[in-house]
Structure 1
Amino acid sequence: MRHHPFRILLLISALSAMLTGCGKSAQQTWTDRFTHLWQAYQVTFISPEGRIVDASQPDQRSTSEGQAYALFFALVANDPTRFAQILNWTRLNLGAGDMNTHLPVWLWGHRADGSWGVIDGNTASDADLWLAYILLQAGRLWHQSAYTETGRRMVSLIAQREVVDVAGTGPVLLPGTRGFGPDDQGCVTVNPSYTPLPVATYMAHEFGPPWQSIAKRLPQLIRATTERGFAADWAQACPDKPLTVPAPGHPPTGSYDAIRVYLWAGLAAPGTPGQKPLIDSVWGMASYLAGHEAPPERVNLSTGDAENTGPIGFSAALLPYLEAQHMKQRFRQQAERVTAGQQPSGLMGTPPTYYDQNLALFALGHLAGLYTFDEHGTLEVHWQ
């Protein structure tokens, strides 16, 4: 498996400590933290039926995003039984019983009339893209042709229903099938965090158009929607005009959506086309951390003002991003915050929110070497 040069430096340092009788390797430490968190996550957030429950919300919701992320972690952990359980609940409750022909709805939970079921029938394209990608990787790694076929069909459905071509910008991924345009002027709303570079690169390599153009233009899209070096939550693309921030109806912020832009960029293999310019375009967060102990919860992109201290998951999400830039001191500072924030139960933060756990699992699994992406976006796992 490929190792990032910075990670090699960390491992050499850890090995030196071991030779002098001090502790275990850095990679093993991250593995232990991932394993502890994933075990606690399953107990706390996954129902016996395979539903990922966000209990912090009054509707006790489940989202297609949560289902997708949990499937990814189950694949990384080489747990086909848990994977099948989560996928089955997703297919039956979000995918109308057949994800070969239906993109899953994004929101399910406790409805106003007291019943349980679909709350919002719109889709979430980031979850759809992850689900398709994960099914393709699971099919390949576990030799399950049914997973591969469903993944391929989902890729086709996403291209048909959630991708539009905007003149001057090219094909873009809409956040969902409804409510994001095109409007009367042909403008659409985009979310820069919805298209992870490794996933888009894999789709481009395996399926061609429109994914080739989406992957190639992704660094340009991120750069065009970045203000003061910070990634934006929402932006607007109009025909033959520069992308603008914010999108109508959204504040000019970088926060809970945008934090994933840094994470996805850091997870991409160094040789991935576009990875370096993408990383370089979101320099603002690394610059901010040079003078602050933790990332901000929210950045006003119009003024550059930071608001509040970001949760523990934000620090975790930034670890691969800082690692990719060889920023050892800033990496160490955020790593110490993450380490201190892991409870004896294994969960992250107080209180341990659903979103923080997901961001941390992505980061810890990567730092542990449990998974990586190659330059084509193919998933590499430790148990291969």
Structure 2
Amino acid sequence: MRAPRVLAAAASAAAVALAVTACSGPVTDGAESEQGATAAADAFLDTYVDEGRVVRTDQGGDTVSEGQAYGLLLAVVAGDEARFDDIWDWTTANIQRDDLLLAWRWEGGSVVDDEPASDADLDAARALVLAGEAFGRDDLTDDGLALGEALLDEMTATTDLGRILLPGTWATASPHAYNPSYASPAAYAVLADASDDSRWDELADGSHAATEALLDANALPTNWATVATDGSVAIAGAADGTGEPGYGYDAARASIRYAESCDPADTVLAGRIAAALPGEEQLPAELDSGAGAVTTDQHPVAYAARAAAYAADGRADDARADLARMGDTATRTPTYYGDAWNALAEAMLTDDALAGCPPLESSSTAAASSSSAGALQDPVRAAAASDAVPVHVSIPAIGIESDLIGLGRGADGWIEAPADYNDVGWYEDGVVPGQIGPAVIAAHVDSKTAPAVFHNLPQLRPGDTVSVTLSDGTVADFVVTGQQSVKKHGFPTESIYAPVPTPELRLVTCGGPISSETGLYEDNIVVTAIAA
């Protein structure tokens, strides 16, 4: 038997988001802002949820039970009871079967694949129980426990390794098809505590044993495997056992789910994966079973997985760098699955809203106690390689040639806007452009009477260049990789200003809707650029 569960801390200190006013004045009442996990959850819900249906917009507009479960989890993270109800109501009305399990795929107004997928049912049951507690709703708790009981009855099997989670009701014959990334120790713990059903603890033990045996057989978890009744395990290429085993969009989730576990033995398993993953800055989305690249594509879930493994292995700085890459990749190439795991990993690894034990929570809390920004990076100036400071910025694509002034941070914790609407400033308490980390340059988008210097900033596109001249005559060149619009009162400080291992740049101004109460912009536009 493994060590007993250790409950997560009740709540981490709230972070004050390091937004940039860069308009006609600050839009703040001094209240603490949402943390990065909440902002990422809100962004996913705003983008992909349509009247309770989580839409795979980049995959033909269909819906799968996995997506509904992700939406439920992220509504819990966001504390959004109304949206939670919308998602669960759509789920029960459209894809919940008579046995309470969830049909996998819906398209064009009806279910087109009635088979359930256990990862979706497990995530949904976890979300329902957590929502019942968060919103004071016994009806949601009851629904979660009933769904969980149906899963235990129909999609688990006992083996010599212990009870294991089957991927679906079709996998009851030995050797059982097994997906390592479906197991979720934190979900088992939530459901065990709420139900007192001993089978959840059995499932936690069996899943740990199966995952450990798989990692003994192959250093990387594979997308699929088999587990026989006698406890023997083998990696597999697909659910039916055919093809070449590989590590990709499924297997990547295993380290995330194990890294958030409150059981130290599970965390050790997640940490083991770190040594098997390539250490290069650019991580391919798919690898073969020996960690060789099989694609040049990049994907947020791959970086999230390596961040989880690094965090579990005690390599917090490396983990945070990968979380930044995760966010950058999601911004450059937004997809349903990438944005879902961008938000879920942020929550599971840095926030305890889902009742796990996030491996990076203590680092975030430490940062909050030492900085009013409460962020992973203040952004704080690293040890300077020289005394040079930025004096000029050139952005040819939008016709900007401007000297730079220094910007500090106001009493509200936000980077101050330049006093003159045509001045461009750099955050002088942060990273010097060209040195390691994310440097910040900010300016106004307009004044009350005319466009200002950063009016055309949203027109920048990937591949456009930015050059910053320093006082010693050197020039730091950057290439734009993407942009995003973020709420000032939900500014994702942790993802935008997280430490990165190379020089990067954040160009920031105002945008989005104008508040009817203040007459000021509610959002920030953030353009990301990397060293050329």
- Residue 242 of structure 1: which of 207, 232, 252 is its match? 232
Q: From the superposition, tell whether residues 311 and 31 of structure 1 become closer, same or farther in structure 2 (CA, over 3 Å).
A: farther
User: Are 1:56 and 1:353, in contact at CA under 8 Å, matched by a contact in 2?
Assistant: yes
Residue 209 of structure 1: which of 179, 198, 204 is its match?
A: 198
Matched to 1:364, the amino acid is E
Q: For residue 76 of structure 1, report the CA deviation from its aligned partner.
A: 1.4
CA distance in 1, matches of 2:188, 2:352: 21
Counterparts of 1:159 and 1:372, CA distance in 2? 21
Partner of 2:77: 76
Q: Does structure 1 retain, via aligned residues, the 8 Å contact 2:271–2:310?
A: no
What secondary structure sits across from 2:169 in the alignment?
coil
Deviation of residue 370 (structure 1)?
5.7
Q: Residues 260-271 of structure 1: matches in 2 within 5 Å?
A: 260-269=253-262
| 1:308-339 CA distance string (max 9 Å, x none) | 34313321343343223221442243134234
SS at match of 1:282: helix
State the AA in 2 paired with 1:61.
D
For residues 8-27 of structure 1, the aligned pairs below 5 Å read: none
Matched-pair contact (CA < 8 Å) for 2:252–2:301: no
Q: Shift in Å at residue 83 of structure 1?
A: 0.5
Give the 5 Å matches for 1:1-384: 2=9, 33-47=36-50, 49-58=51-60, 60-96=61-97, 101-110=99-108, 116-166=109-159, 168-178=160-170, 180-182=171-173, 186-205=174-193, 206-226=195-215, 227-246=217-236, 248-269=241-262, 272=263, 274-285=265-276, 287-289=277-279, 292-301=280-289, 303-309=290-296, 310-341=298-329, 348-366=330-348, 369=351, 371=353, 373=355
Judged with a 3 Å threshold, the aligned counterparts in structure 2 of structure 1 residues 284 and 367 are, in CA distance, closer, same or farther, namely closer
Q: Is the 8 A contact 1:29 1:368 kept in 2?
A: no
Two-structure CA RMSD over aligned residues (Å): 3.0
Q: SS in structure 1 opposite 2:86?
A: helix
3-state SS of the aligned residue for 2:116?
coil
With normalisation by structure 2, the TM-score equals 0.57
Q: Which deviations, in whole Å up to 9, do the C-alpha atoms of 1:64-121 show, x marking residues without a partner?
A: 111111111111111110000000000000014x7xx4211010013xxxxx210100
Distance 1:30 1:264, change over 3 A: farther
Q: Distance in 1 between matches of 2:258 and 2:220?
A: 13
Farther-moved stretch of structure 1 (77-86 vs 304-313): 304-313
Contact 2:161 2:209 in 1 (8 A): no
2:95–2:103 Cα contact (<8 Å) kept: yes
Task: Work out whether residues 190 and 355 of structure 2, in 8 Å CA contact, stay in contact via their aligned partners in 1.
Answer: no
Check the 8 A contact 2:100/2:146 in 1, yes or no. no
Counterpart Cα distance in 1 of 2:271 and 2:356: 20
Cα shift at 1:237: 1.2
**What amino acid is aligned across from residue 83 of structure 1 in structure 2?**
F
* Contact 2:179 2:223 (C-alpha < 8 Å) held by counterparts: yes
| Contact 2:162–2:209 (Cα < 8 Å) also in 1 | no
Query: Residue 25 of structure 1 aligns with which residue?
Result: none
Q: CA deviation at 1:30?
A: 11
Equivalent-residue separation in structure 2 for 1:268 and 1:70 (angstroms): 21
* Deviation by residue 1:102-149 (Cα, 9 ceiling, x = unmatched): 211010013xxxxx2101000011111111111111112211111111
Where does structure 2 lack aligned partners over 5 or more consecutive residues? 1-7, 19-30, 358-364, 366-532
SS state at 1:305 partner = coil
Give yes or no for contact 1:125–1:162 (8 Å, CA) kept in 2. yes
Which structure has greater helix proportion? 1
Q: Does the CA-based 8 Å contact 1:125-1:158 persist in structure 2? A: yes
Q: Is the 8 A contact 1:52 1:62 kept in 2?
A: yes
Per-residue CA deviations over 1:267-315 (Å, capped at 9, x if unaligned) read: 223xx25323322442444x522xx0133322221x4422234313321
Do the aligned partners of 1:162 and 1:173 also contact (CA within 8 Å) in 2?
A: yes
Deviations 1:235-257 (A, max 9, x none): 11122252111161253111111
Q: Distance in 1 between matches of 2:34 and 2:307?
A: 15
Query: What count of residue pairs does the alignment treat as equivalent?
Result: 331
In structure 2, the CA distance between the partners of 1:332 and 1:104, relative to structure 1 (3 Å rule), is closer
Distance 2:34 2:352 in 1: 7
Contact 1:317-1:360 within 8 A present in 2 as well: no
Question: For residue 344 of structure 1, what is the aligned residue in structure 2?
Answer: none
**1:350–1:29 Cα change, 3 Å:** farther
Q: Rg: which structure is higher?
A: 2
Output the amino acid matched with 2:268. Answer: P
**C-alpha contact (below 8 Å) 1:232/1:253 kept by paired residues:** yes
8 A Cα contact 1:63 1:106, kept in partner: yes
- The question of whether the paired residues in 2 share the 8 Å contact of 1:95 and 1:104 is answered with yes
> What is the distance in 2 between the residues matched to 1:362 and 1:234?
22
Aligned equivalents of 2:111, 2:306: Cα separation in 1 = 33
Cα 1:139–1:358 shift into 2, 3 Å: same
